[in-house]
Amino acid sequence: MKIYNAYAKVNIFLKITGLRENYHEIISRFMRVDDLYDELSFESKEFEEFEIIGNFSCATEQNTIYKAYRYLVEYTNSQSLKELMQRYAIKVTKNIPAFAGLGGGSSDAATYLKMCNEVLHLGLSLNELATIGLKVGADVPFFIYGYNSANVSGIGEIVEEFKEPLLSFDIYTPNIEISTPRVYKSYRENFYNPIPNAEVQKLKQTNSLDVLGFFKPKEANDLFAPALKEYKELQQHYKEGYFFSGSGSSFFSIIPPSYNSKMPKLV
């Protein structure tokens, strides 16, 4: 069976721009992490119940892949999709840490949607898949479009490709399970200070290396300070020169081109 890669991402920057009902609107630069990915494939099974084979701590009904399946059935009413998942399990080799701010669950869901669209010839456009994926989670559309780098705004539904060289990252993830809703709640209650539109436009036009060059970690990611407030043990894991991805708990730094022969020239 063909194996599909579900890549991780880091947030080069993540700034809050406002509120939309119970959601926070953002502007963020997502960049794919090329050497960190889960592996998904279909595998024959014995029983008809929906099955995910992999190392997950949540119940199947809470898994992003299962949610993606339910929303895809709802959108397409495809009998072939139902039959596919009666005959095959979805096997996931997990390499992206959970609760880490690296988008593992979202990437798995997006990859699953694209797998089904491909093998069943559903004919759904990337925009349609992104609409379905947004119901699963705010980060899913980025992974649907498959860009190396993109400006992501709204509540995650606006994904605009940003053309720049793909960077290499040193990533480490403390063994701390962070609740994204808890971090956003703390931000709203203790740190709420949305950036003006002029700054949004400037960030959208600035390449990732330059952004990381003039931002300090707490300036680059509005969720870093509330995450530190809610999870004080995070401070023990912080290293100078590292940035915070999403709501955490992962930190990343850029591997300079001179240390990586595969890096593109940044000229």
Do residues 69 and 217 lie in contact, with contact meaning Cβ atoms separated by under 8 Å? no
Query: What is the third-level CATH fold of 169-259?
Result: Alpha-Beta Plaits (3.30.70)
Closest CA to 222 of 21, 30, 9, 13: 13
Do residues 25 and 16 lie in contact, with contact meaning Cβ atoms separated by under 8 Å? yes
Q: Is 262 a catalytic residue?
A: no
* pLDDT averaged over every residue in the chain: 93
Pairing state of beta strands 52-53 and 251-254? unpaired
pLDDT score for 59:
86
Residue extent(s) of CATH 3.30.70.890 domains in the chain = 169-259
Catalytic residue among 38, 108, 139, 222: 139
pLDDT score for 261:
46
Percentage of the chain beyond pLDDT 90 is 88
Cα separation, 104 vs 127, in Å, equals 21
Cα separation, 235 vs 93, in Å, equals 31
What's the whole-model pTM score? 0.91
pLDDT score for 258:
60
pLDDT range class, residue 55, cuts 50, 70, 90: confident
pLDDT > 90? residue 260: no
- Report pLDDT digits (tens) over 113-161: 999 999 999 999 999 999 999 999 999 999 999 999 999 999 999 999 9
First-to-last C-alpha distance (Å) of the chain = 40
pLDDT score for 251:
97
Q: What mean pLDDT is predicted for residues 238-250?
A: 93
Catalytic residue among 9, 15, 67, 114: 9
pLDDT > 60? residue 263: no
Q: Is 139 a catalytic residue?
A: yes
Cα separation, 25 vs 249, in Å, equals 21
Name every residue whose Cβ is closer than 8 Å to that of residue 137 and which is 6 or more positions away in sequence: 64, 105, 106, 109, 156
Question: What is the per-residue DSSP string for 26-94?
Answer: EEEEEEEEEEEEEEEEEEE-SSSS--EES--SS-GGGSHHHHHHHHHHHHH--HHHHHHHHHEEEEEE-
Residue extent(s) of CATH 3.30.230.10 domains in the chain = 4-161
Say whether domain 4-161 belongs to CATH 3.30.230.10: yes
b/e per residue, 122-137, with b = 16+ CB within 10 A? bebeeebbbbbbbebb
- Report pLDDT digits (tens) over 19-42: 988 889 999 999 999 999 999 999
DSSP-based three-state secondary structure for 229:
helix
pLDDT range class, residue 266, cuts 50, 70, 90: very low
pLDDT > 90? residue 264: no
- Report pLDDT digits (tens) over 154-210: 999 999 999 999 999 999 999 999 999 999 999 999 999 999 999 999 999 999 999
Q: Measured between alpha carbons, how far is residue 76 from residues 72, 125, 140, 146, 260 in Å?
A: 6, 12, 18, 22, 44
